[in-house]
Structure 1
Amino acid sequence: MWKVTKFLIFCLILFNQCTLKKKTKIEIDGSHWVINDEITYPGTQAEGLLMNVRMVNATFEDAANPDYNPFQNTQKFIEKIPEYKAAGVRAFTLNLQGGSPGYEGVVNSAFKPNGSLKSAYMDRVAHLINVCDIQGMVIILGCFYQRQDQILRDSTAVKVGLANVVEWISDNNFTNVVLEIANEYPHNGFNHEIIRTTEQMLELIRRVKQQNPDLLVSTSGLGNGKVHPDIAEASDFILIHFNDTKVNQIPQRIKELKKYGKPIICNEDNKIGEEAKEAMKKTVSNSASWGYLNLEVNQFVPLQFNGIADDSLVYNEMKRLVSE
């Protein structure tokens, strides 16, 4: 009975949120991020940036494990959003195919084989987007993830799936969402060539811009902090990962990308503790946004969302950078 009650409450919240006027609008002004016509973190070291955390499994499910409760997992994360925001976080990265949960064989995808969208999965994502909208926060919404893209039947299904996501964002009038077509698109874990090759990724970016010119779109590179020049030119903002990038390499990686005059945003760095703190400082001091990934806590099952207790060193430093 309690499970039924919680589901009805969830539906009511979702209905009420969808009927409310959208509160949060994300835009770009040159190389700066703007939320509701105001530059982010004005007057601080992080002015114009978008400090973010990778929470791709906040809407996680495993179709191979029917006992797993995806709604409960999402609710646990939502309860901690105010605490992350208080530490300076202004964006979360989600993904419609999640991220590695620390074990193989998972089936986690908002897409059906033909590219249509699974309503229950998308309802969870919509609920989370709306909660963030109310709290003035942004979602970097990824579509495809390696080792899950094979759920889509073929390249046609990939294109259909992407078009369905863009239409879904438009129909819901989500103004606090920017799009990441694929997580680390050149990754050899992708089965579909249409995702993992630069030429075809450029075509996917063009398709998104034709379908919805106002939707900000990009795609992320590998953990070396580099992006193919054509991808950087075609994207509205530049997405990089720093997992395999040493702290002392970060300034040069950012310098190489500044020539494009676009916001540079790292939305995945799996360093923790003191090393993560130093990586964040280097990134911000070079005028790029930094994104934290606490792999074992926030992405591996059993998932934990502890607010700043995830890593107090990191979140205390983030709070300082966005305040001073």
Structure 2
Amino acid sequence: MTPARMAMLLALLLSEAQGGQTVISIRGEDFLINGKPTLEGRTWRGHEVEGLLPNSRMVQGIFDDLNPETAKRWASADTGKWDAERNTREFVAAMKDWRDHGLLAFTLNLQGGSPMGYSKDQPWNNSAFDERGDLREAYVARLKTILDEADRLGMAVILGYFYFGQDERLKDEAAVIHATDATTDWIIKQGYRHVLVEINNECDVRYDHAILKPERVHELIDRVKRRSADAGVPLLTSTSYGGGHLPGPEVMKAADFLLLHGNGVKEPEAIRSMVERTREVKGYHGQPIVFNEDDHFDFGRPENHFTAATAAGASWGYFDFRMKDEGFAEGYQSVPVDWSISSERKRGFFRLVAEMSGK
């Protein structure tokens, strides 16, 4: 029996043993769900798409603001207040529609992302960790609700641990390490097999703690991989870089998959070039390449960032925020969030995903 066949059978056995649980794995450059390549046998616009992981940045699914001075910013129009539990309920209610359109994965982050889309300062306090690195129970409860539904729907979740602008909520490096271990142990304890770990969003952008910066973040990648493997539940782990930047050699060697961002990359051809140059970085050993953040759209044009990444054999991820003077229906990162497929921009993305997947 070939190693690939053995891996497939193991994944299927795990799935059956856990009551139909979703298992994400990697074989070469391909992602597999429950032992079968994603988008198996499919071509799209003349390109083979088997093994790709179309995804969307939905990082605010467990968002809250523990700073009473800023929490009022996120009040919903109908109640005049912010409600973290409602936000998660509405997220979960929208997930089946995303999946029915062919979405296979989304990024969620324990410290969210900028609820303004982009922001230099972040006075809000949105962190699933306290200053010591202990997990906050309310955040964990919301996280479990989302991960359970993703598991049921057969979706993978790229789970980010840390976000710049919020990492300073942890008092020191020991707290960062403790938070990493606590989250990893919690995932293992839950028995999840559909989680891909992203140590931090854009490791080369404004982090306070040295271990979260490009020179050392591979230490945390290795730590999660070693700790989860020792527990018998190896977690596929990586980190991401800022728009247009390529992984460094140490991350390249350590990461199970490679996360790129297309923000600031102006032309589709430059997206293709990013993928090609990534494969040339020292330490690359054939991992799948995934864009899990890109704020370029043009979905109605034959050539856009989505199609360019796909043509280069990389997965592409949608990042949408509410721009100036836009209404509530726009954006998946701006809080409060309309999690439905509610705007023309969202519909444009999901039309391409549905076309790619044959939905």
**Both structures adopt the same fold (TM-score exceeding 0.5):** yes
Task: Verify: 1:97 aligned to 2:111, yes or no.
Answer: yes
CA contact (8 A) 2:54 2:103 kept: yes
CA gap of 1:22–1:96, structure 2 versus 1, over 3 A, is: farther
TM-score, length of structure 1 as denominator length: 0.89
CA contact (8 A) 1:47 1:322 kept: no
CA contact (8 A) 1:111 1:161 kept: yes
TM-score, length of structure 2 as denominator length: 0.81
**Aligned runs of 1:78-227 on 2, under 5 Å?**
78-102=92-116, 104-188=122-206, 190-198=207-215, 200-213=216-229, 214-227=234-247
Give the secondary-structure state (helix, strand or coil) at the position aligned to 2:337.
coil
Which AA in structure 2 matches 1:96? Answer: L
Task: Verify: 1:292 aligned to 2:318, yes or no.
Answer: yes
Task: Give the drift of 1:322.
Answer: 2.2
CA contact (8 A) 2:214 2:248 kept: no
Q: Which residue of 1 aligns with 2:309?
A: 283
Instruction: Please provide the CA RMSD for this pair.
Output: 1.8
Which AA in structure 2 matches 1:249? Answer: A
Task: Give the drift of 1:21.
Answer: 3.1
- CA–CA separation in structure 2 for the residues paired with 1:74 and 1:22: 24
* Percent identity for Structure 1 against Structure 2: 33
- CA–CA separation in structure 1 for the residues paired with 2:199 and 2:300: 29
Q: Which residue of 1 aligns with 2:77?
A: none
Which AA in structure 2 matches 1:254? Answer: V
- CA–CA separation in structure 1 for the residues paired with 2:304 and 2:53: 17
Q: Which residue of 2 aligns with 1:315?
A: 350
Cα-to-partner distance string for 1:55-101 (whole Å, 9 max, x where unaligned)? 00011101124652111001111111111112221001000000001
Larger mean Cα displacement after TM superposition, 136-145 or 66-75: 66-75
Give the secondary-structure state (helix, strand or coil) at the position aligned to 1:311.
helix
CA contact (8 A) 2:85 2:142 kept: yes
- CA–CA separation in structure 1 for the residues paired with 2:20 and 2:212: 32
CA contact (8 A) 2:107 2:159 kept: yes
- CA–CA separation in structure 2 for the residues paired with 1:120 and 1:271: 34
CA contact (8 A) 2:299 2:352 kept: no
Task: Give the drift of 1:39.
Answer: 0.4
Task: Give the drift of 1:302.
Answer: 2.2
Which AA in structure 2 matches 1:61? Answer: D
Give the secondary-structure state (helix, strand or coil) at the position aligned to 1:298.
coil
Q: How many residues align?
A: 303
Note the residue ranges of structure 2 that are not aligned, 5 or more in a row.
1-17, 44-48, 72-80, 323-330
CA contact (8 A) 1:308 1:315 kept: no
Give the secondary-structure state (helix, strand or coil) at the position aligned to 1:282.
helix
- CA–CA separation in structure 1 for the residues paired with 2:20 and 2:249: 35
CA gap of 1:273–1:99, structure 2 versus 1, over 3 A, is: same
- CA–CA separation in structure 1 for the residues paired with 2:336 and 2:150: 23
Give the secondary-structure state (helix, strand or coil) at the position aligned to 1:295.
coil
Which AA in structure 1 matches 2:273? Answer: Q
Task: Verify: 1:28 aligned to 2:26, yes or no.
Answer: yes
**Aligned runs of 1:236-275 on 2, under 5 Å?**
236-246=256-266, 247-258=268-279, 260-274=285-299
Task: Give the drift of 1:252.
Answer: 1.2
CA gap of 1:78–1:125, structure 2 versus 1, over 3 A, is: same
More helix by share: 1
Q: Which residue of 2 aligns with 1:305?
A: 339
Task: Give the drift of 1:260.
Answer: 2.7
Task: Give the drift of 1:110.
Answer: 0.3
- CA–CA separation in structure 2 for the residues paired with 1:287 and 1:314: 18
Task: Give the drift of 1:29.
Answer: 0.6
**Aligned runs of 1:60-75 on 2, under 5 Å?**
60-65=63-68, 67-75=81-89
Cα-to-partner distance string for 1:117-167 (whole Å, 9 max, x where unaligned)? 001101100110000100000110000001000110100100000000110
CA contact (8 A) 1:273 1:311 kept: no
Give the secondary-structure state (helix, strand or coil) at the position aligned to 1:105.
coil
Task: Give the drift of 1:22.
Answer: 5.2
- CA–CA separation in structure 2 for the residues paired with 1:163 and 1:227: 23
